[in-house]
Amino acid sequence: MSAKTALIYSQKFEQFSYGEHHPFNVQRFHLAYELISSYGLDCCENSIYPEPPSMAEEAILTFHDSAYVERMKEFSSSETPRADFLYGLGDVENPVFHGFYDWARLGTSGTCEAARLVAEEGYSAAFNLAGGYHHAHKAKASGFSYINDAVIAINSLLAKGKRLVYLDIDAHHGDGVQEAYYDTDQVLVISMHESGIYFFPGTGFEKEMGEGKGYGYSVNIPLIAHTDDPVYMKAFDEVVYPLIAAFDPDIIFTQLGADTFRTDPLTRLEITTHSYSYILRKIKALKIPWVATGGGGYDLMNTARAWTIAWGIMNGVKLPVNLPDSFIELIKPMGYKHKMLLDAMHWAEEEDRNRALDAVESSIAIIRKSIFPIVIG
């Protein structure tokens, strides 16, 4: 019998809105699921697609401050706009809307269910599309994130005695997750992201390595603008892959943001589905039980393509290069002209990529000198 996999999806993911002009458009989930369905990947053998179950508030309190949670609940039930900037609530970035706490909790429950299926039910992979809110802090919303679903799910796995690698390939540094595990050696936190020198959230530099028992178990690879496919794959091959293999986790947890792609409106990296697919295939080849979430991605077609590729790889399905005709017809009225699922490998302009290559080689050297002796020995 082939390995069991689970895709966590619910139409409820799309029933809320950050606002008409907010870059976080929840229709990403619907578009991704439609493309997955167009490829017939909604009926993979041994796969299930459970609605996320309700989740006890006690789980949220394994990371988040109780006063912050109470303020979210209060604002979420209000019919009038509210704001509390101490908690990061009600600004342009993290708007308060009726039911926002319930919506954030729904996505978190999906990630926790994915973790449970992998840890308790023997699933080889479980993927929650509506997860990946890696910027939420203990007592503050940040970066479109209210509840840090990854931390809460990982805490449930740590309670079962599991050791994990958390790998974040979103364009933004996974600062909330790093914060949660900065002083432990039970979670190896790795983030490949656009450099915080000029980019939100302004963290994630090579010298952020953890503290106490956690020193050496926070790994950051900041990438400068115009980092392309070959440079991205180099960083993965020379840093990420050997660290994962050496740590030998019970479970690998990935945040699969697609805002690294070269046409994303909020970022300046030049990644395509080529290197994105390459990394996910290498993770699949490790045969480590795999929990995955979505994340960023502000070009909705990039997001749909990326997460469809990810789900196909989790199931060992090689997808055609061209988008299905039925999906092309579906997206035409939306103004999309895409016809390809997979991109050719992309090189940036020579001067730009040379700068990006120099920067990543510098990062690799720092990590090899400081991190490798601790994790690899």
pLDDT at 1: 52
Q: Which SS3 state, helix, strand or coil, does residue 254 take?
A: strand
- What whole-number distance in Å separates Cα of residue 184 and Cα of residue 97? 35
Mean pLDDT to the nearest integer, 281-301: 97
Say if residues 270 and 294 touch (Cβ distance below 8 Å): no
- For 196-212, the pLDDT digits (tens) are 999 999 999 999 999 99
Q: Which residues are designated catalytic?
A: 173
Under CATH, which number does the domain 24-375 receive?
Answer: 3.40.800.20
Domains of the chain, by residue range, sit at 24-375
pLDDT at 45: 77
Q: For residue 110, give the nearest of 65, 192, 51 by alpha carbon.
A: 51
* DSSP annotation string for 125-182: EEEETT---TT-BTTB-BTTBSS-HHHHHHHHHHTTT--EEEEE-SSS--HHHHHHTT
- For 136-177, the pLDDT digits (tens) are 999 999 999 999 999 999 999 999 999 999 999 999 999 999
- What whole-number distance in Å separates Cα of residue 238 and Cα of residue 12? 40
Tokens encoding 48: 């299930």
- What whole-number distance in Å separates Cα of residue 341 and Cα of residue 343? 7
Alpha carbon of residue 51 to chain centroid: 20
Q: Which SS3 state, helix, strand or coil, does residue 188 take?
A: strand
Mean pLDDT to the nearest integer, 316-332: 96
- What whole-number distance in Å separates Cα of residue 264 and Cα of residue 258? 8
pLDDT at 50: 82
pLDDT at 15: 87
| Residue for token pair 């915080």 | 196
- For 59-81, the pLDDT digits (tens) are 999 999 999 999 999 999 998 88
pLDDT above 80 (res 2): no
pLDDT at 38: 96
Cβ neighbourhood burial of 221 (10 Å; 0-12, 13-18, 19+): buried
- For 257-272, the pLDDT digits (tens) are 999 999 999 999 999 9
pLDDT at 250: 98
Q: Between 20 and 373, name the one with better pLDDT.
A: 373
Question: How many residues does this entry show for the chain?
Answer: 377
User: For residue 297, which amino acid is it?
Assistant: G
pLDDT at 55: 87
- Please, what is the average pLDDT of the chain? 96
pLDDT > 70: what percent of the chain? 99
Q: For residue 176, give the nearest of 98, 94, 115 by alpha carbon.
A: 94
Enclosing H/E stretch for 221: strand 218-223
Mean pLDDT to the nearest integer, 356-373: 98
In this structure, the number of other CB atoms found within 10 A of the CB of residue 267 comes to: 25
Return phi, psi of residue 37, to 5°: -65, -35
Alpha carbon of residue 368 to chain centroid: 25
